[in-house]
A and B are shown apart, each in its own frame.
Chain A
Amino acid sequence: MKRHDILSAIGLIDDIMIEETAAVRKKHRQHTVRALVSLAACVAVLLCGIVWRITYLPAIDISFTHHLNSGHGSIWCYDISAYDETNPWDSKTPVRRLPVYKNAVTDENWQVIGGLSKNEMTKLAQKAAKTLGFTIKDVEERQYGGELKFTTEQADILVDPYGSVDIFFGGWGKLDNTGHIPLPDGYTFRSDADFIEAEKALLYLTETYADLLDFSQPFPYLTSTFSFSGERHYEYRVYEGADTAAERILNHACKTASFGCDEEGNLSAIRLTNALAPAKKLGNYPVISSSEAYELLLEGYYVNHAFPPVDKDTVIHKQALVYRATIDDATILPYYVFYVEDPTTYHNIAEGLTSYNPYFVPAVDRKYIKSLPLWDGTTNK
């Protein structure tokens, strides 16, 4: 007898045994087909969703809760070209698309809409406290703005629903310097320090509090403000760097940290901001060029509240691409900002100190904007 015979004989076995195995095979195949059909359906839905997400961009609402904040204030400086010189936008490498977010805002009654939950705020405070080695002893909900105050022995930690965490060493609202943290000998950490000293202190602070900042690419930078008498004051800041220009521009406004000092050069506070934490992304929107934005500026399509209109003879002293992410902006979106010298005559101002008015023109293609703010001769709303 050959093996062929065995195989042939098996072909003659009882129909019932063949049928019962066939049923097992069929059941599995149907299950597999159903699973594949389900999977294919899921993939199709997912692809449709992705395509929809990629192609659909909702209209952007440019509005402000409190009109007084609808335009950033004037800038005082001696040399506007040096102002905000760490802005990551480079006019030579224009970005084509930038992300836009629906912001958490306060309504007319200062009630927070779309902010972080108390649970999320508590987690932020716990993370900060743990990193600093502090223990939270008490929590207090503040009356306005939905802010929570967490008390530790060494500091008060205030967290707001917009993603900001403020750490006040020694406690919030104190008038003395008790509990503030001195920097080691050799560091000068004051707002009126010179540039070299300030930069050295900033690098030290950025490194010392790296875990608290939790930035993958911390980018420390100093900004200057001037008193009317002409004294320079440094602000010590860090923002989260990134690999792409679009992310850097966004983070420069939305993911930042700053260090506060007292008059004795001690560290009095640290502020962490992450405006994107409560925000909801609307999409990546096409961005117009700065020259297109300039045309809109001439037509009066800009955001501010009291600056006079500009025309083609007006000198633009500086321009940049920035995000606005204040708690009054309904939408976090990029703007081209044009700096124009303030024509107002001021008295008792240090010689050479000049005021510049920033004009914010939405950088997103206007077809995606519900209503482009148009200067109406009085104030924008």
Chain B
Amino acid sequence: MRDIDIVNLYWERDERAIKETDAAYGNYLLKIAKNIVTDIEDSKECVNDTYVKAWHSMPPQRPAVLSAFLGKLTRELSIDRIRTKSRKKRGGAQYTYALEELGEVAMGGDTTADTVELRALAQSIGAFLQTLPLPARHIFVGRYFFLDSIRDIAAYCHKSEGAVKTTLHRTRGALKEHLEKEGLL
């Protein structure tokens, strides 16, 4: 089923929307969740929560890219889950590593940004990513949006793990400079 048809099912309040979404994107969303939370059951719950949130979001929203829309929901729900469920419970390895790596960019910061600042920050990061060569952008998005492991990224970008690490290191440095110039750090 095409994305537009799935979205129409949501808008028509047809419960087949959930079933079709799961058939089309279930594994994709589960992979995102598993990269962030450790537990497989938690991951499945995050995906189920994604469907619930999608059900409540459409309408009014009509996403142009359904996969990205759903992926963002799963990612957000998974991060929220490991932040709020238990402070003692660590997130998945890739989430933890990615967070540590981004500490280089956010060095010295100690206050949490509000929603408006996050949107401005997202726009600035988006503008920065537009300047990157495509392979570097895939590597960055793979690592910090999808929270994929270095090994997985190396595999789907057809590069060595060392090359992926080097690219990420350089990109983080460039992002830090960019955000400083923008006055966001």
CB distance from B68 to the nearest CB of A (A): 4
CB distance from B75 to the nearest CB of A (A): 5
- Contact residues in A for B152 (Cβ distance below 8 Å): 25
- Contact residues in A for B134 (Cβ distance below 8 Å): 20
A186: interface (CB < 8 Å): no
- Contact residues in B for A3 (Cβ distance below 8 Å): 99-100, 102-103, 105-106, 109
- Contact residues in A for B65 (Cβ distance below 8 Å): 15-16, 18-19
A2 touches B118 (CB 8 A): no
A175: interface (CB < 8 Å): no
What 0/1 readout, one digit per residue, does chain B (92-107) give for beta carbons within 8 Å of chain A?
A: 0000001110110110
- Contact residues in B for A15 (Cβ distance below 8 Å): 63-65, 68-69, 72
Count residues on chain B whose CB falls below 8 Å from chain A CBs. Answer: 49
B41: interface (CB < 8 Å): no
What 0/1 readout, one digit per residue, does chain A (80-116) give for beta carbons within 8 Å of chain B?
A: 0000000000000000000000000000000000000
A7 touches B98 (CB 8 A): yes
A352: interface (CB < 8 Å): no
- Contact residues in A for B169 (Cβ distance below 8 Å): none
Given contacts A2-B110, A5-B113, A6-B102, contact A11 B68 (CB under 8 A): no
A51: interface (CB < 8 Å): no
- Contact residues in B for A29 (Cβ distance below 8 Å): 156
What 0/1 readout, one digit per residue, does chain A (1-27) give for beta carbons within 8 Å of chain B?
A: 111111111111111111111101111
Name the residue on B nearest A1 (C-beta).
B109
B68 touches A7 (CB 8 A): no
B111: interface (CB < 8 Å): yes
- Contact residues in B for A34 (Cβ distance below 8 Å): none
Instruction: Tell me if B's interface is mostly helix, strand, loop or mixed.
Output: helix
- Contact residues in B for A26 (Cβ distance below 8 Å): 28
B141: interface (CB < 8 Å): yes
Stretch at the interface among B9-17, B47-55, B119-127: B119-127
Given contacts A1-B111, A3-B99, contact A18 B106 (CB under 8 A): no
Most buried by B among A8, A10, A27, A29: A10
Given contacts A9-B125, A12-B72, A18-B68, contact A25 B113 (CB under 8 A): no
CB distance from B28 to the nearest CB of A (A): 7
- Contact residues in A for B130 (Cβ distance below 8 Å): 17
- Contact residues in B for A130 (Cβ distance below 8 Å): none
B118, B146, B155: which contacts A5 (Cβ < 8 A)? B118
| A residues whose Cβ falls under 8 Å from a Cβ of B | 1-22, 24-29, 32
14 other contacts beyond A11-B72, A12-B72, A18-B68, with CB at 8 A cut-off?
A: A1-B112, A1-B113, A2-B106, A4-B112, A7-B144, A9-B122, A13-B129, A13-B141, A18-B71, A18-B141, A20-B134, A22-B67, A24-B138, A25-B148
Of the A-B pairs whose beta carbons lie under 8 Å apart in the complex, a sample of 20, sorted by A's number, is A1-B106, A1-B121, A2-B110, A2-B113, A3-B100, A3-B106, A4-B112, A5-B109, A6-B144, A11-B122, A12-B118, A12-B119, A13-B125, A13-B126, A18-B71, A18-B145, A20-B138, A24-B142, A24-B156, A27-B156
